[in-house]
Amino acid sequence: MAIPSDIIQPLKETLTKAQDVLVLLPQNAGQEMITGALGLYQALNQAGKSALIACPTSLSASSRSLSGGDQIAAKIGNRDLVVSLKVTQRDSIDKVSYNLDEDTKTFNLIIQPKKGNPPLKRDDVTYSYSGAQADLIIIVGANRLEDLGFFYEEERKLFTDAKTVSLHRFPSPTFADYQILDANVSGFGELAYELAQELGLTLTADAATNFLAGIDLATNNLQNSNLKPDTLEHMAQLLRAGGLRRSNQPAVAPTTTPSIPKPVIAPPPASQPVPTNGSTTQIPQDWLAPKIYKSSPKAN
């Protein structure tokens, strides 16, 4: 796929200026989508961007086991540190102030309870993050912004202020500033790789490995009958970039040679000794009887 120049050129300019980039997955994203998103996220980090990858729903263990899968966040608001204090009564706090210790470079937040209230406990303090920020948002596999679940519901202004890019396999309603669409690729892994190529991103070995995993998933480990030459060429490029293929086939148990039971030879009847010369001729019974010899009278 060659992305039209009227899309790729302004997108390149946007990426050059962008510092914070979000790579987002829709709710219940499939593993094929996740491989493409992970590869893009890793390539963007390699380019020096402050990138974050996130999915609004929980991921399977197999998706977490992908290279970098443990870095997929469940929230996109990570700019502001929120300090929360559990209090028993609404009016138990007298005042809140802060100071900055120049010697130790320490910020001190001072929370003073009202007279007559017990001292505040450190165990009642928790920390979290909020406030998403991005110059560019790349959305992999969603058909509309609502597919992003609470990411979109809680941060609607973010999607208005930032430039957005959507990656699709098939035609869908346009909701982003730039729509990357190609029904001829094997799947999202290959589509994301082509976008990385067009943007001039350098791939890490982990990014190449994830793109390869996406192609393997989409083509049933290259077993699909409609496999295209371009897909094989892309796989060669990814292998040269240091990518490793992950086998998706179940392990085959080693075969063992069945043991052949030895034939059991029945012993011969007690009355017939076993021949020693290999002959099967039966011995007459009178041969085996005891012999009695008598002397004959001498002739006169």
Confidence of residue 126 (pLDDT cuts 50, 70, 90): confident
pLDDT tens digit sequence for 205-221: 999 999 999 999 999 99
Residue 233: what residue type? Answer: E
pLDDT tens digit sequence for 147-199: 999 999 999 999 999 999 999 988 888 999 999 998 899 999 999 999 999 99
How far is the C-alpha of 156 from the C-alpha of 136, rounded, in Å?
Answer: 14
pLDDT tens digit sequence for 50-91: 999 999 999 999 999 999 999 999 999 766 778 888 887 777
Half-sphere exposure of 31 (CA within 13 A, CB side): 17
Q: How much is the pLDDT for 297?
A: 58
Q: How much is the pLDDT for 240?
A: 97
Q: How much is the pLDDT for 248?
A: 47
Q: How much is the pLDDT for 264?
A: 55
How far is the C-alpha of 233 from the C-alpha of 132, rounded, in Å?
Answer: 38
In this predicted structure, which of 10-24, 54-68, 119-133, 177-191 has the lowest mean pLDDT?
A: 119-133
Q: Is the Cβ–Cβ distance between 160 and 184 less than 8 Å?
A: no
Half-sphere exposure of 180 (CA within 13 A, CB side): 26
Question: Quick one: CA dihedral 272, 273, 274, 280, positive or negative?
Answer: negative
Q: Which of 37, 70, 49 is nearest to 213 (CA)?
A: 37
Q: Is the Cβ–Cβ distance between 113 and 93 less than 8 Å?
A: yes
Relative to beta strand 50-54, strand 20-24 is: parallel
Greatest distance between any 2 Cα atoms in the chain: 160
Q: How much is the pLDDT for 296?
A: 57
Residue identified by tokens 């998933």 is: 217
CB within 8 Å of 119: residues ≥ 6 apart: 113
**What are φ and ψ of residue 206, in 5° steps?**
-65, -40
Domains of the chain, CATH where assigned = 5-78+131-240 (3.90.1640.10), 80-129 (no CATH)
- pLDDT of 47 strictly over 70: yes
Q: How much is the pLDDT for 111?
A: 87
Residue 212 burial (CB count, 10 A): 24
Q: How much is the pLDDT for 268?
A: 53
In this predicted structure, which of 13-22, 28-37, 114-123 has the lowest mean pLDDT?
A: 114-123
Confidence of residue 232 (pLDDT cuts 50, 70, 90): very high
How far is the C-alpha of 155 from the C-alpha of 20, rounded, in Å?
Answer: 15
pLDDT tens digit sequence for 255-271: 444 455 555 555 555 55
How far is the C-alpha of 35 from the C-alpha of 54, rounded, in Å?
Answer: 13
Confidence of residue 295 (pLDDT cuts 50, 70, 90): low
Residue 288: what residue type? Answer: L
How far is the C-alpha of 88 from the C-alpha of 84, rounded, in Å?
Answer: 13
Separation in Å, CA 52 to CA 63, 74, 276 = 17, 11, 88
Q: Is the Cβ–Cβ distance between 99 and 108 less than 8 Å?
A: yes
Considering the chain, what is the average pLDDT of its residues?
85
Q: How much is the pLDDT for 242?
A: 96
Full DSSP string of 190-234 = HHHHHHHHHTTPPPPHHHHHHHHHHHHHHHTTTT-TT--HHHHHH
